[in-house]
Amino acid sequence: MFSMPPANGSKPAAPAAGAADVVKDTTDRAFMADVIEASRDVPVIVDFWAPWCGPCKQLGPIIEKVVRATKGAVRLVKIDTDANPMIASQLRVQSIPAVYAFFQGRPVDGFMGAVPESQVKAFVDKLVALAKQAGVGGDDMLEEAFAQAKEMVEGGDLQGALDLYSQILQAEPENARAYAGIVRCLIAAGDLENAKQMLAQAPEAIAKDKELANVRAALDVAEQASNAGPIPELMEKVAHDPNDHAARFDLAMALFAAGKREAAVDELLEIFKRDRTWNDDGARKQLVKFFEAFGQTDPLTVKTRRRLSAMMFS
């Protein structure tokens, strides 16, 4: 079992802005709050370094000096890549020191290696000017984070995905997509009780969001699937009698519970193909529940809808 995120995705109160906040160290977990969220107000420079890196030790004090001289117009966040490799990997940092600048949630500039103070000052001055012009918005990093979390879930790294969703939620406590992502991680881990509790505690502002509606459907299906029997026994029953639709239905639910979504869909489609009226149109109705659980734009939902339509009108 993995560690749970803070209740309601709450984030700790931020300290008052001041000189102490202009330069700070951060971690992979706090990156979203310290960099992405903070950069919505002012440009944030990220210095990727490591204790063993000689050029990093030369560049670090220079950047700190220049940033402090802006008196809060630009901030500096330092991240030790040895202790916190995830963000560096996500940004494809191949050598250090590596410096990135973020503004309004996305990277806007950067450079590699130790450079002279004059070049650092020019770099920072450009960011100050960008801030004065109000810059440009964007959610590129946020989208990358969601894509990475999805890949983690698909690859079985539920703890990694949970941490990343929690990091997003720490920066944006009412981000329905991240909140739903955490619940999906709990469902995938079989922790249905905590998933149910988290949905019940969803902030009012996002409680009716479609992301949470989809994940509620996923939880309903998961609870229904938890009562299905062992897959081998059900497969044997279906092999013995292909028209045992009740056994095939239970097999579909057991496959869903095991994370075999496409196989589960195939079994329900087979029931519909053999007897579309079985159990008061039960196979089609269960497919609709699957669509809600997957999300209407999920590739499997789109593909299955086409197959179902072809059967209905054939």
The DSSP line for 209-254 is: -HHHHHHHHHHHHHHHHTT---HHHHHHHHHH-TT-HHHHHHHHHH
Residue appearing with tokens 């996923």: 218
Domain boundary among 136, 167, 188: 136
Domain tally, the chain:
3
Active-site residue among 23, 45, 53, 99?
53
* Among candidate residues 75, 103, 136, the one where a domain is terminated: 136
Are residues 186 and 198 in contact, defined by beta-carbon separation less than 8 angstroms? yes
User: Could you tell me the CATH number of the domain that includes residue 150?
Assistant: 1.25.40.10
What per-residue confidence (pLDDT) applies to 105?
Answer: 86
User: Quick check: pTM over 0.85?
Assistant: no
Inter-residue contact 33 to 170 (CB < 8 Å)? yes
- According to DSSP, the residues that pair with 25 across neighbouring strands are 78
C-alpha closest to that of 176 among 199, 147, 194, 144: 199
Q: Is 185 known to be catalytic?
A: no
Residue 90 sits in which domain range?
23-136
Confirm whether 260 is domain-assigned: yes
Give the per-residue SS3 of 286-310: HHHHHHHHHCCCCHHHHHHHHHHHH
Q: Is 54 helix (H, G, I), strand (E, B) or coil?
A: helix
Full pLDDT tens readout for the chain, 314 residues: 555 555 444 433 333 333 346 899 999 999 998 999 888 888 999 999 999 999 999 999 999 999 988 877 899 999 999 999 999 998 888 899 999 999 988 888 999 999 999 999 999 988 888 887 744 333 445 677 788 888 888 888 898 889 888 888 876 788 899 999 999 999 988 899 999 999 999 999 999 898 899 899 899 888 888 877 789 999 999 999 999 999 999 999 999 888 789 999 999 999 999 999 999 999 999 999 999 888 888 889 999 999 999 998 86
pLDDT of residue 298: 84
56 is known as an active-site residue: yes
- Asked if residue 236 and residue 283 are part of one domain, the reply reads yes
Q: Count CB atoms within 10 A of the CB of residue 235.
A: 16
CATH number where 58 lies: 3.40.30.10
13 is a domain residue: no
171 within some domain: yes
| pLDDT value of residue 98 | 94
Catalytic residue among 23, 44, 56, 217: 56
280: in domain = yes
